[in-house]
Amino acid sequence: MDIRREYDCWIVNATADDDIMAELKTMDDKKIEDAFYRDLTFGTGGLRGVIGAGTNRINIYTIAKASQGLSNYLRKNFAEPSVVIGYDSRIKSDVFAKVAASVFAVNDIKVNIWPVLMPVPTVSFATRYLHASAGIMVTASHNPSKYNGYKVYGADGCQITTEAANEILTEIEKLDIFLDVKTSIFEANVAKGNIQYISDDVYTAFVEQVKRQSVLFGEKVNKDIAIIYSPLNGTGLNPVIRTLQETGYTNITVVKEQERPDGNFPTCPYPNPEIKEAMRLGMEYARKYNADLLLATDPDCDRVGIAVKNKMGEYELLTGNQTGLLLLDYICSQRIKHGKMPTDPVMIKTIVTADMGEQIASYYGLRTINVLTGFKFIGEQIGKLEQENKAESYVFGFEESYGYLTGSYVRDKDGVVGSYMICEMFSYYATKGISLLDKLDELYKTYGYCLDTLHSYEFGGSAGFAKMQSIMQIFRTGIKEFGSKKVIKLLDYASGLNDLPKSNVLKFLLEDNCSIVVRPSGTEPKLKIYISVSAKNKEETECVEEEICKNAEKYLK
């Protein structure tokens, strides 16, 4: 790409957005290079990047170009194409949603758009419910405020396949960002009926599906538990509170500072429940109100993190793996207890998610399907079950990054159902005098103590991508051990192992049932290392984990 030529083209043509033009005029050579050295990558996750001017940024022009390419793809593959559009609380999410809607409308594609900001799972749900050809969610999930994104779903409500993403990318790459993109006025298309707002009936249908995932099957539990909830200035407030209140949970206190949508995320720069800092204010509320349970969903409400009291009366954050294992065990035990386990039951998890999940699943008679990282692969497997008329066989799916789904009504992780099921599970055990930490200890005693951790390393800028690729090659050069743990086997998913799609992921199987996974993030400039350790007790696992991590970090320099 001729960076200077591209920049000059934008100076002449990017006149529809004053913010973009102002930024272009103040760029130095370094900023120009970073903003224009490539086109923002379009893949199975759609687009995700920093908001701003340039081809390597999220802005009205890159959003419009992607929408035009997607429009061309839809018109080739559907006789009467239609789309569902949703957006979160991020900076300019509503603007980008309207830009996308206007491009689709002028291309004679019927648009159904949520009238207010909504969580990710409602887009997946509405795409299926309204029989749309595709769904678009404007979000950057849990990323910092400078990011936004454009997430694409297929007609099945699942994130698009690699094949579909490649076909859409082909269409996008044919386009000149200024000359070949059709535009129109959003309000005029609403008036004409080309763009329609999704009715409240669809929202209600979504909430009803969430409520149907209960596994109490008539059992009575104490629902007067004290809950602290934070939507982290995102989309979760209304659907989470509505679901909980309609199912009997009324003792709920919302973290005021994080209650209202705000894309600047003023109290938590990294609005991700995986990060302790994002949970800090919620923890303060929990202590102040002597809460039983703290819940926090990320801005697009597809992830949920929790904290509960330990025996010392102090609040303890649970990892995504721990919560997922607890939910899996609870759901399975309840289904077995009430005779509600389906024929050929299935649990689906990613390859970086706790291996104990497979042990728990096996105990209850469930078949485990392991997939690549990303909930889209879990959704894809649910779709395959549906094609075999076995959708009811799906019992539970989860990933270590705080994503959970029970039920096949959507094809993405759902922070609404996650919050609901966590509250139900907490209430069930509390009624029996058991804490979630007690239950977790019981699982460890049964299946062995394990520790699963995630470490992220950022490699930003134009050189960051090349650096990550170089590091991945270093990890492929015959490493024999990590710390004191010898490498038993290396699984390189770049060649497409176990009928999985090819992916730049390495999994080292270590002695003593330990493992380490290395992969570049598909959504942000980070290299991620997942470490799993099994040992006799917590102290030993922590020592081994630290040793493995320090050894792995040597290869990042």
User: Tell me, what CATH number does 189's domain have?
Assistant: 3.40.120.10
Structural domain span for residue 396: 222-446
Please choose, from the candidates 354, 344, 442, the residue with its C-alpha nearest in 3D space to the C-alpha of residue 398. 354
Q: Is 384 helix (H, G, I), strand (E, B) or coil?
A: helix
Per-residue model confidence (pLDDT) at position 517 = 95
Tell me phi and psi for residue 277, to 5 degrees.
-60, -35
- Look at residue 331 in the predicted model and tell me its pLDDT: 98
Tally the domains of the chain.
Answer: 3
Residues 476, 400: one domain? no
Task: Select from 446, 476, 503 the last residue of a domain.
Answer: 446
Structure-token pair, residue 164? 């579909």
Select from 168, 202, 236 the last residue of a domain: 202
- Look up tokens 């929202």; give the residue: 203
Residue 217 covered by a domain: no
Query: Cβ distance 375 to 410 under 8 Å?
Result: no
The active-site residue out of 141, 515, 532, 534 is: 141
Quick check: helix, strand or coil at residue 29? helix
pTM to 2 decimal places: 0.93
Angstrom CA distances, 483 to 107, 524, 549, 552, stand at: 58, 28, 8, 8
Name the 3-class secondary structure at 485.
strand
Q: Do 88 and 118 belong to one domain?
A: yes
What would the DSSP string read from start to end of 275-314?
SHHHHHHHHHHHHHHT-SEEEEE-TTSS-EEEEEE-TTS-
Q: Would you say residue 213 lies in a domain? A: no
CB atoms within 10 A of CB 450: 22
How far is residue 271 CA from its own chain's centroid?
A: 13
Taking alpha carbons only, the member of 10, 53, 17, 11 closest to residue 177 is 10
Per DSSP, which regions of 351-446 are E strands? 367-371, 394-399, 403-405
CATH number, position 549: 3.30.310.50
Rounded Cα distance between 157 and 95, Å, is: 23
pLDDT score recorded for residue 498: 78
The answer to whether residue 520 is domain-embedded is yes
- Cα separation, 255 vs 265, in Å, equals 13
pLDDT, position 76 = 97
506 — phi, psi (to 5°)? -120, 135
Any residues with CB less than 8 A from the CB of 552 and at least 6 apart, and which? 455, 482, 516, 518, 529, 531
Edge to edge, what strands does the sheet with 82-87 contain? 47-50, 147-153, 134-138, 82-87, 110-113, 195-197
Asked if 13 and 106 sit in the same domain, the reply is yes
Please tell me the predicted confidence (pLDDT) of residue 473: 94
Are the C-beta atoms of residues 332 and 398 closer than 8 Å to each other?
Answer: no
Q: Is 142 within a domain?
A: yes
For residue 153, what are the β-bridge partners?
A: 135, 159
230 and 346 assigned to the same domain: yes
Residue 391 is given by DSSP the state: G
Structure tokens at 417: 């159902």
Q: Is 441 helix (H, G, I), strand (E, B) or coil?
A: helix
H runs (alpha helix) in 80-185: 93-106, 120-129, 162-173
**Residue 465 confidence (pLDDT):** 82
Q: Does one domain contain both 371 and 413?
A: yes
Q: Which residues lie closer than 8 Å to 15 by C-beta, 6 or more apart?
A: 21
pLDDT (0 to 100) of residue 460: 79
Domain presence at residue 72:
yes
Residues 270, 188: one domain?
no
pLDDT along the chain (557 residues), means of 10: 92 96 96 94 90 97 98 98 98 98 98 98 98 98 94 96 93 97 96 97 98 97 97 98 98 98 95 94 98 98 97 96 98 98 97 92 97 92 95 96 96 98 98 97 92 89 84 93 94 85 91 93 84 89 94 92
Tokens of 334: 């309840």
User: Helix or strand or coil: residue 339?
Assistant: coil
Give the per-residue pLDDT at 81: 98
Is 230 catalytic? The answer is: no
Rg (CA), the chain: 23
Phi, psi of 201 (to 5 degrees): -60, -35
Helices (H) and strands (E) in the chain, counts: 18, 21
Instruction: Let me know if residue 211 belongs to a domain.
Output: no
Cα–Cα distance between 291 and 288 in angstroms, integer?
A: 8
Helix axes 93-106, 60-77, angle to 10 degrees: 40
Determine the residue type at 279: M
The predicted pLDDT at position 45 comes to 85
Question: How far apart are alpha carbons 155 and 371 in whole angstroms?
Answer: 21
Same domain for 512 and 550?
A: yes
61 inside domain: yes
| Ordered alpha helix ranges (H), 487-526 | none
Domain identity same for 133 and 229: no
Describe the chain by its helix, strand, coil percentages, rounded to 5.
45, 20, 35
- 402 and 437 share one domain: yes
Residue 283: inside a domain: yes
Spatial CA neighbour of 90 closest among 128, 39, 145 = 145
- Looking at the fold, whether 432 and 526 belong to one and the same domain comes out as no
- Residue 227 region by backbone torsions, left for phi larger than 0, else alpha for psi between -120 and 50, else beta: beta
Residues 152 and 12 in one domain: yes
The reply to whether 187 and 317 lie within a common domain is no
User: Where is the domain boundary, 417, 446, 475?
Assistant: 446
